Amino acid sequence: MGERLGRAAELVLGEVLLKERMVRGFSRMEIGRKINKKEQEVGKFEAGEFIPLPVLEAYAEALGEPIQKKIIRRISFLRKLEIETKQEQSELIEIYQRLFEE
């Protein structure tokens, strides 16, 4: 089975979510309850599994750091572009790295 496009970006996003959850002192179970997902699913997201945008938005809300709609739209556009062009979008990684910066 081939590697999914965007894997590098998903790994970065997972690392960012894990770090932000730990900084705020939430357990996987606590975040899972807030976003209506099981603790194991939270772990998979943090390990780099694909995160649907509504789940990403809920995760950010649960952390107390809502994501602006214009950023969500940009992420959506870049994810679609990856699929259409079959090329990873480095801008997506950059967005994920800055997601919770002030």
Each domain of the chain, given as residue ranges in start order, spans 7-97
What residue has token string 């959506």?
76
Q: For the domain bounded by 7-97, which CATH number is listed?
A: 1.10.260.40
Report how far apart, in Å, the C-alpha atoms of 59 and of each of 28, 41, 46, 91 are. Answer: 11, 12, 11, 21
Q: What is the mean pLDDT of residues 34-60?
A: 96
Q: What would the pLDDT profile of 49-100 be if each residue is shown by its tens digit? A: 999 999 999 999 999 999 999 999 999 999 999 989 988 899 999 999 999 8
